[in-house]
Amino acid sequence: MEVNGFMPVPDSYDYDLIVIGGGSGGLAAAKEAAKYEKKVMVLDFVMPTPQGSSWGLGGTCVNVGCIPKKLMHQAALLGQALQDSRKFGWQFTEEVKHNWMTMTESVQNYIGSLNWGYRVALRDKKVTYENAYGEFVGPHTIKATNKKGVEKLYTAETFIIATGERPRYLGIPGDKEYCITSDDLFSLPYCPGRTLVVGASYVALECAGFLAGLGLDVTVMVRSILLRGFDQDMANRIGEYMKEHGVNFIREFVPIKVERVEEGTPGILKVTAKSTTGDQIIEVEYNTMLLAVGRDPCTRKIGLDKVGVNINERTGKIPVNNEEQTNVPYIYAVGDILQDKLELTPVAIQAGRLLVQRLYAGTTTKCDYVNVPTTVFTPLEYGACGYSEETAVEKFGEENIEVYHSHFWPLEWTVPSRDNNKCYAKIICNTQDNERVIGFHVLGPNAGEVTQGFAAAIKCGLTKEQLDSTVGIHPICAEVFTTLSVTKRSGENTTVSGC
């Protein structure tokens, strides 16, 4: 029965909680809810890409994001390590080559084991999992459609939307027919060959970096700036390093057409691009064109209008309050789909767990979106926590911040005698608050490992004086942060000649 054209609110529910989306945030929330003996269902469905790629349970991070990206980044680092090893006395005469298929098969086998592990974990916790597409059809009611087109209706007292995002296409002739995205790259059944990466996001630069590290001819086409939203001083240093290590950049151009000129795996594509500053048109041929121009939330086709959930019409993001609650009280959301929140896997996991603890365990702890550390796995890794230099100046005023910085040379790189004065450390301090560290930035090997530790200290209110009184571990990269003495304001030289 319908009332005034709307489905009535059910008297009882099939589930206490239905989670839409089986990625990091959704699975964390579902498993947490099961601890409190709630009846929980997870709906997860991957729409195949235009190239036909799809994957199992676990979401972007596990299948087509952080995990395969870091493993392929590691493959590239091993290539560099092989070169370095000769100077350390390792002798080998045979030609060193990289096999794309061996790498992708190994990576996909590991991902497959993770997919299976997630399914087993849900089963063990008595969480119902359906590989079906979830779409709201009325109050507290969702329609689940499986790959055979079979539809079922389920009701729940509470819903958590955790549908994540998918790569954006350019909307130009040939993009969906001939281009790939990060959704396709990590399971690509052939070596991509000469590759054009379009975009300047961290996804673009990470993919370009490891492809070049595997020995491929890689070009990055950039519309304007690198790593928008990140510290631009650090972003430009990353760009320079990549350029010095064989990555080509075409700046201030955007593609306007893609055509296939030769079939194959890979084939040959002709890319037509236009200048963003004039009328110049260029045509270049590549084997593969990888789009990394941003991601769009999967929120527009899940029936949110049927239940009255507000979304940002321009971006598709969902506005929530500080408890991840939408404007509809029984519907919550976590992860990359949230408006004005960080798009990071650990943030989604933390938010999902804490949300469920508030719902079912009576806690009050909210997810803290401030001072969240992150790392960009470019060839020279970039770790950051807190404010960028630009944002710090904007928020506190240039006269109220002090930037301490230094180059450093990892000991491991001295014997091969490479990349001196490329690694860089920077902290931003608020002089009006006891020189509290409000921004932390590092370019160098294992940047994520370095940043994670300092992030805990920053969370505790780390000051420059406390950093200075910390004894460093020698000889490691992170010790540079215990001896920073040169300010940017002074203009003094920060280059180093040894460890």
Q: Which residues are catalytic?
A: 474
Calpha distance 130→68 (Å, rounded): 25
Q: List Cα–Cα distances, 91 to 96, 253, 402, 411, 412, in angstroms.
A: 12, 44, 48, 21, 18
Bond into 48 cis (ω within 30): no
Query: Helices (H), strands (E): how many in the chain?
Result: 14, 22
Calpha distance 490→404 (Å, rounded): 10
Q: List Cα–Cα distances, 38 to 15, 34, 125, 466, in angstroms.
A: 8, 5, 10, 46
Calpha distance 244→397 (Å, rounded): 34
What are the tokens at 25?
A: 């945030």
Which segments within 162-267 are labelled E, that is strand? 165-167, 180-181, 195-198, 218-222, 248-251, 253-262
Helical spans, DSSP H, in 283-371: 304-307, 345-360
Calpha distance 281→259 (Å, rounded): 15
Calpha distance 246→242 (Å, rounded): 7
Calpha distance 254→199 (Å, rounded): 9
3-state secondary structure of 296: strand
Question: Residues 372, 411: contact at Cβ < 8 Å?
Answer: no
